[in-house]
Amino acid sequence: MRRNQLVSCVVALLCVVFSVPVGVDQAGAQCTAIDGGKLKIKPAAGNSRSKLNWKAKDKSVDFLIADPASGTTAIEMAAAGTVLATLDYGLASASAWRSGGTPVRVWKYKARDDPSPIDGIEKIISKRDLFKLKGKQGLIDLLVAPLALPITLQITDSTGACYLARFSQCSDNNSKSVKCRADRSFLPDVPNLVFQSGFEDDTNHVYSTGTLAPCTDDLWGMDSSVPPPNHWENDLEGGLAGPFGQFHFCFGGGDRSQRSLNLVPDPDNPSNQVLYGRIGEPNEVVSDDAIACNNDALGARKSRIQAVVQDNPGLGRLDYRLRVRLGKPALDAIVNQPEPVTWFTLGEFWNNQPAEDDSFRITLGMDKAPGTGERFFFSLKAEKQDAGAGNWIGVWPSVGDGVSDVEVPHGKWFTLEVTMKEGDAGSGRAHVRMTDDIGQAHTIADVTNWTYSPDAPVGSQDGFKDFHPLKLYTSGQLVCALKAAGLPLEIWWDDLAIGSPN
């Protein structure tokens, strides 16, 4: 609800609006994302009162404590972008509020002490991270399932500060109550959605043991934590029906003691399941004595975990979204040493592979400049490979080797959004954006340029037949140095969504 609409409602505690579209994502871009915790809504039944309990997990901001005498606080409640209700409290109802504690720890509201008109709300309890409503039928009944997701709560306090909590996983107990768990960060929509997963319980991780084969792991099943399309095989692996062919995980070799994948609890939220990758030794043998970290020469071993989406028929465009968390101890150790790092890959997009003519790749990675204390920054660059040659030649960018000014978070979740569109110098597109753990978006790269080899004959383009959206790939020497310090290289992934118009 816009401010001019709110002004007309200040004389009342509650303003209810039906079917008013609102750009929640646009509004959210101007707000601070918060961990909204848990939301429970129970409508009136018989002689019972309606109830709304919201316990936010984010305790870093006192967004639910606002002195009604100092200004107006507005809480806007929406479902799938449609505002259902806006609750304003401030000067008009200040006499109905009482504070408790020194310093103030709680504000309480009772309708019988309020001189202004009250519609349905009888009691409010407002603490630092807890907000409760109780009343007759009315407001709360609007928020009972079935509701289109996501549910959002947007808070604008008396200083103008704005916060946004988003809930996309809700359960309905036969309309007697609705329980919702908040998203921990913004999850932007992916256009032309083909598949999505939160890596939850119905996702099955399968893997081979007793082999050093390059590709040994896969994910099967249907992830019921998100709406369809959510089946790892039926939706993601479309074969000739497209747009994607096969999906599996490759390591280049090694065994599970050296590198592994597992479905585990989120280290920041144990109720959330995520995919965890770990590299303890460089697992891919190139040319050494087959003993890891035995004074290997540079390039003799590689360290690799990657999801491979391959055999994609004519994939001219792909879009995906993914949440990522990188292990802090290992990254801190790398930052606190003087050597540069220019090989640390988080995603790769091939058009074509080295075994094909006119090989070309776009690499999403992170780089560290030489010097102790130099930080990691995201990077994006494109390279081609001449026929019969092993060296890669830069196509773009020409300045800075593609290193952005966006710093890589250590030990915190961030969201990556990636778009790749096949085209020449004027029509190709590579766009990457990162959203941090407080909801702030940062553009890593937005490039209009070649996304296939400039040497490829006109008409030979066949799309991104292979790409690696989940990847952890770096040198054997770097991982050996971490091993000597007792530190594995770690990564967590969550909330994958992939789309394509092809």
SS3 per-residue string spanning 397-416: CCCHHHEEEEECCCCCCEEE
Question: For the residues 434-446, what does the mean pLDDT come to?
Answer: 86
Average pLDDT, the chain: 84
Question: For the residues 178-185, what does the mean pLDDT come to?
Answer: 73
Alpha carbons 295 and 488: distance in angstroms, whole number: 18
Residue 147's pLDDT band (cuts 50, 70, 90):
low
Per-residue pLDDT at 302 exceeds 80: yes
Residue with tokens 């896969």: 218
Residue 16's pLDDT band (cuts 50, 70, 90):
very low
Per-residue pLDDT at 309 exceeds 80: yes
Say if residues 137 and 43 touch (Cβ distance below 8 Å): yes
Question: For the residues 368-387, what does the mean pLDDT come to?
Answer: 95
Say if residues 370 and 342 touch (Cβ distance below 8 Å): no
Torsion of CA 418, 423, 427, 430, to 10 degrees: 20
Alpha carbons 310 and 242: distance in angstroms, whole number: 11
Alpha carbons 445 and 174: distance in angstroms, whole number: 47
Q: In terms of pLDDT, which residue wins out, 148 or 200?
A: 200
What tens digit of pLDDT does each residue of 313-358 get?
999 999 999 999 999 999 999 999 999 999 999 999 999 999 899 9
What tens digit of pLDDT does each residue of 74-94 get?
888 888 778 877 877 777 788
Which residues have C-beta within 8 Å of that of residue 446, sequence separation ≥ 6? Answer: 430, 431, 432
pLDDT of residue 238: 82
**pLDDT more than 70, % of the chain:** 86
Alpha carbons 215 and 308: distance in angstroms, whole number: 9
Alpha carbons 74 and 95: distance in angstroms, whole number: 18
Per-residue pLDDT at 406 exceeds 90: yes
Say if residues 182 and 129 touch (Cβ distance below 8 Å): no
Prior bond to 150 cis, omega within 30? yes
User: At residue 1, what is the residue type?
Assistant: M
| Number of other residues whose CB lies within 10 A of the CB of residue 283 | 26
φ, ψ of residue 477 to 5 degrees: the values are -65, -35
CB hemisphere CA count around 37 (13 angstroms): 14
Please list the alpha-helical segments (H only) found in 21-62. 24-29
Parts of the chain belonging to CATH 2.60.120: 193-499
Fold for domain 193-499?
Jelly Rolls (2.60.120)
Residue 1's pLDDT band (cuts 50, 70, 90):
very low
